DNA sequence: ATGAAAGCGCTAACAG
DNA sequence: CTGTTAGCGCTTTCAT
């Protein structure tokens, strides 16, 4: 393995000169730059990442805090990761996967104190998130993919859940639906203060009121059978409902199956809109799900770019960016039949 | 940030002593060990990862080579990652996510030469994989999650696709099915030499022959609509088929939808077995998919442990480990009706 | 525009 | 069982 000293000797210059052509931190004459580049090429030189990191106090690695639960990742989360990885690589950064949830605060403490990572991307953010407090105390650079209850002073990039719920409800109302159920994330998520669950719940309430229509929110496990149970509960509560909003991809499929078995036709008897859903999952259903398509990769990439800019600047001011999901009408929504009869 | 020198001073010992209590590389008296630990605690000391890496020539980071295509990861791939992350962390290692496919050879070259990573876990292995040759040339430590065409001399952990196909076919044959279609990965995967696609194709042929039954293999895109088209093609080719094997989770759901629309009852008219499928996805379907459940997390964890052992040993011998998928009978398979009539 | 040299914080001989 | 010390390979003053 060739070192910088080897390159310097070969090019007939000093090590510092080689270093400077590499980092571009000071002007170098064209002639020596070429000599150095030639020497590096001949030796197949590649800078040693650890040495560089030690001397410069920067690893060029950012940590992705993503609790891996064993239940797997949804398409949206995967897209966050993909977008972040891509954006990091374009900037010459690497991404380290750290399975660190709100409860693993001391592990994060270790991670952040080791000086292995330049900054953090925090996923699966809770409304009250221990990781955020900790990172703040440690004066670490970080950007949230998601938001806490009180995001003032923080940097975060998130899906605009309020807007997404508004748009989804508006779509259903526009089709004449006046009794709408919202199948949210699980009871546990709600209780745990998971941001998307809480925010959409509030936005749903507000939307109902604004449009002067009625509805219920029902929590559901993120499984097909959870969705089945949830729609059952919803129909008990509101027997005449014609519109359903689902937060949860797996539950959405369960709901379609349950409605079919109840001999209710989708979209004509009941219309269903799935939220924060990828096109791939939407097409899994039959009919294909009308969905609010999540800007997953864009969110991941945006968060990464914000973090990298801060690492460069040393900037630490508040930054908020909300990206809306966009409505894609497919086969599960239509004009309310009940509406037509009138 | 406290350094080791600070700790040494505080504990009244030399830096090397501190280093040795940390690494456990040489015997230390109980008394000094305690003094050192106390000093570390008081100072909130945390070793600097870069400095340690530079001096020891080990980063304690392993690279996970996983081409992120933007199409997202299936449940099985996600489970590989989860299992690997978990196993790495238990051993005090970190995992770096590197979106490096067969075509990004020079990027891998850079990565491997930077001395940032101690070893590699290679995912999405092709039968002919440039990354494998390269890693070998560079004398890097690596373990494949998957296999190349000629895995002799390599370390790999993989799903036992041959066994899985055998078991799936045996299940269908045991239920009386004698005309079976196999909906494989896409044409492109087959052409690209994607291991699972090729291996299962061969195993399927062999199984047909062994049981003396007939069938066809049809490639399919990994989408619901792809599955629909594939089953259509299969039924044209074999109108009397009663059994279907599907490699591909999304396609499996498409197949169920298509069969339902063709007024064919699953499982009674046609039985369907999904392969290398997670329980979560299997439950998404209705009826729930009978599936060969993939040992995803176990594979990821096993591969990681093998790699870590090699990093410790310097071992570089051949190592192969194949984990079978296990049959879980749910709602999409049953005794062949055609069989009963006879 | 270039060089010399002092670290960065730790590990691992080497020397007791 | 413990201390001294020479690097690991690079960045970055300070000189020139």
Q: How far is B319 from chain A (nearest CA, A)?
A: 26
The Cα–Cα gap between B229 and B217 comes to: 13
What is the DSSP code string of B205-248?
HHHHHHHT-EEEEEE--SSHHHHHHHHHHHHHH-TT--EEEES-
Question: Domain end: B14, B31, B56, which one?
Answer: B56
B204 and B331 housed in the same domain = yes
Here the tokens at position A171 are 């779509």
B205 and B333 housed in the same domain = yes
The whole-number pLDDT of residue B338 equals 62
Unique residue bearing structure tokens 């270093």: A19
Q: Which of A299, A297, A294, A341 is nearest to A320 (CA)?
A: A299
The whole-number pLDDT of residue A32 equals 94
What values do phi and psi take at A319, rounded to 5?
-150, 125
A179 and A267 housed in the same domain = yes
User: How many C-alpha atoms does A108 have within 13 Å on its Cβ side?
Assistant: 28
Q: How far is A201 from chain B (nearest CA, A)?
A: 25
pLDDT digits (tens, 9 = 90+) for B12-33: 999 999 999 999 998 999 999 9
- Closest chain A CA to residue B287: A257
Mean per-residue pLDDT for B143-161?
Answer: 95
Can you give the distance from the CA of residue B57 to the C1' of nucleotide D5 in angstroms? 19
> Are residues B111 and B138 in contact, defined by beta-carbon separation less than 8 angstroms?
no
Give this prediction's pTM: 0.90
The Cα–Cα gap between B159 and A138 comes to: 43
Q: Containing domain of residue A15, as a range?
A: 4-56
> DSSP 3-state assignment of A329?
coil
Q: Which of A141, A154, A148, A136 is nearest to A63 (CA)?
A: A141
> DSSP 3-state assignment of A128?
coil
Closest residue to B50, CB basis, from A53, A78, A250:
A53
Q: What angle (nearest 5°) sits at the alpha carbon of residue B334, between those of residues B331 and B336?
A: 150
Question: Domain end: A41, A56, A71, which one?
Answer: A56
What values do phi and psi take at B160, rounded to 5?
-85, 85
- Strand C within 7 A of A136 CB: no
Contacts of B269 (CB under 8 A, 6+ apart): B242, B259, B337
Look at B97 and A253 and tell me if their CB atoms are within 8 Å.
Answer: no
Residues in chain A within 8 Å Cβ distance of B48: 54, 114-115
pLDDT digits (tens, 9 = 90+) for B253-280: 999 999 999 999 999 999 999 999 988 8
Strand order in the sheet with A243-246: A214-219, A179-184, A243-246, A271-277, A290-293, A326-328
B241 and B262 housed in the same domain = yes
The Cα–Cα gap between A251 and A289 comes to: 12
What values do phi and psi take at A308, rounded to 5?
-65, -40
Residues facing A246 on adjacent strands: A183, A274
The Cα–Cα gap between A329 and B78 comes to: 29
B168 and B259 housed in the same domain = yes
Indicate whether B342 pLDDT > 50: no
Mutation to test the A interface, candidates B68, B250, B253, B280, most A Cβ within 10 Å: B68
Q: Could you tell me how far CA B64 lies from the centroid of its own chain? A: 11
The Cα–Cα gap between A199 and A275 comes to: 13
Instruction: A279-283: list long-range contacts, CB under 8 Å, 24+ apart.
Output: A279/A328, A280/A75, A280/B71, A280/B72, A280/B223, A280/B250, A281/A75, A281/A249, A282/A328, A282/A330, A283/A330, A283/B223, A283/B224, A283/B225, A283/B250
> DSSP 3-state assignment of A322?
strand
B188 and B336 housed in the same domain = yes
> DSSP 3-state assignment of A73?
coil
B134 and B14 housed in the same domain = no
What values do phi and psi take at B184, rounded to 5?
-90, -175
Tell me the helices (H) and strands (E) count for chain B, helix number first: 15, 12
The Cα–Cα gap between A319 and A206 comes to: 26
The Cα–Cα gap between B13 and B9 comes to: 6
Residues in chain B within 8 Å Cβ distance of A81: 68, 97
Mean per-residue pLDDT for B148-157?
Answer: 94
A177 and A271 housed in the same domain = yes
Q: Which of B57, B39, B89 is nearest to B304 (CA)?
A: B89
User: Structural domain tally of chain B?
Assistant: 3
A175 and A287 housed in the same domain = yes
Query: Sign of the C-alpha dihedral, residues B140, B146, B151, B157?
Result: positive
Provide the 8-state DSSP code for A155: E
CATH number at residue B230: 3.40.50.2300
Contacts of A185 (CB under 8 A, 6+ apart): A194, A196, A197, A219, A220, A222, A247, A248
Query: Sign of the C-alpha dihedral, residues A137, A141, A145, A149?
Result: positive
Band of residue B341 on the pLDDT scale cut at 50, 70, 90: very low
pLDDT digits (tens, 9 = 90+) for B193-245: 888 899 999 999 999 999 999 999 999 998 889 999 999 999 999 999 999 99
A197 and A333 housed in the same domain = yes
> Are residues B99 and B68 in contact, defined by beta-carbon separation less than 8 angstroms?
yes
The whole-chain average pLDDT of chain B stands at 93
> DSSP 3-state assignment of A109?
helix
Closest residue to A68, CB basis, from B64, B82, B285:
B82
Helix (H) or strand (E) holding A122: strand A119-122
Helix (H) or strand (E) holding B124: none
| pLDDT tens, per residue, chain A with 342 residues | 899 999 999 999 999 999 999 999 999 999 999 999 999 999 999 999 999 999 999 999 999 999 998 777 878 888 999 999 999 999 999 999 999 999 999 999 999 999 999 999 999 998 899 999 999 999 999 999 999 989 999 999 999 999 999 999 999 999 999 999 999 999 998 998 888 899 999 999 999 999 999 999 999 998 889 999 999 999 999 999 999 999 988 899 999 999 999 999 999 999 999 999 988 888 888 899 999 999 999 999 999 999 999 999 999 999 999 999 999 999 999 998 765 543
The whole-number pLDDT of residue A339 equals 52
How large is the greatest C-alpha to C-alpha distance in chain A, in angstroms? 90
Residues facing A144 on adjacent strands: A122, A156
B122 and B193 housed in the same domain = no
B103 and B172 housed in the same domain = no
Residues in chain B within 8 Å Cβ distance of A331: none
Band of residue B72 on the pLDDT scale cut at 50, 70, 90: confident
- Strand C within 7 A of B262 CB: no
CATH number at residue A12: 1.10.260.40
Look at B278 and A72 and tell me if their CB atoms are within 8 Å.
Answer: yes
Q: Which of A46, A230, A155 is nearest to B116 (CA)?
A: A46
Mutation to test the B interface, candidates A68, A229, A299, most B Cβ within 10 Å: A68
Classify A88 in phi/psi space as left (phi over 0), alpha (psi -120 to 50) or beta: alpha
Unique residue bearing structure tokens 């940390």: B22
The Cα–Cα gap between B336 and B244 comes to: 12
> Are residues A142 and A156 in contact, defined by beta-carbon separation less than 8 angstroms?
no
What values do phi and psi take at A220, rounded to 5?
-155, 140
The whole-number pLDDT of residue B30 equals 92
């Amino acid at each position: 393995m060739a070192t910088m000293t080897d390159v310097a000797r070969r090019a007939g210059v000093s090590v510092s000169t080689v270093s400077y052509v590499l980092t571009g931190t000071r002007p170098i004459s064209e002639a020596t730059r070429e000599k150095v580049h030639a020497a590096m090429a001949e030796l197949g030189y590649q800078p040693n990442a650890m040495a560089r990191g030690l001397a410069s106090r920067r690893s060029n690695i950012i940590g992705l805090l993503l609790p891996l639960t064993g239940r797997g990742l949804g398409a949206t989360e995967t897209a966050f990761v993909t977008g972040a990885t891509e954006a990091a690589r374009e900037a010459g950064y690497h991404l380290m996967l750290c399975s660190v949830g709100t409860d693993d605060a001391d592990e994060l403490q270790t991670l952040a104190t080791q000086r292995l990572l330049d900054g953090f991307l925090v996923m699966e953010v809770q409304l009250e998130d221990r990781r955020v407090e900790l990172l703040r105390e440690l004066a670490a650079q970080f950007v949230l993919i998601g938001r806490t209850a009180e995001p003032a002073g923080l940097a975060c990039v998130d899906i605009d859940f309020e807007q997404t719920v508004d748009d989804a409800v508006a779509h259903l109302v526009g089709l004449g639906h006046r009794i709408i159920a919202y199948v949210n994330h699980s009871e546990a998520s709600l209780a745990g203060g998971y941001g998307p669950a809480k925010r959409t719940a509030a936005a749903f309430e507000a939307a109902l009121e604004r449009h002067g229509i009625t509805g219920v929110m029902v929590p559901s496990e993120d499984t097909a059978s959870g969705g089945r149970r949830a729609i059952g509960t919803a129909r008990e509560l509101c027997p005449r409902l014609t519109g359903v909003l689902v937060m949860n991809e797996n539950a959405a499929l369960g709901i379609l199956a349950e409605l079919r078995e109840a001999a209710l036709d989708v979209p004509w008897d009941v219309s269903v809109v799935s939220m924060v859903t990828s096109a791939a999952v939407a097409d899994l259903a039959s009919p294909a799900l009308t969905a609010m398509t999540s800007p997953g990769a864009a969110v991941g990439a945006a968060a990464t770019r914000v973090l990298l800019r801060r690492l460069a600047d040393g900037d630490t001011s508040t930054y908020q960016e909300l990206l809306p999901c966009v409505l894609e009408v497919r086969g599960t929504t239509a004009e309310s039949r009940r509406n037509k009869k009138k």
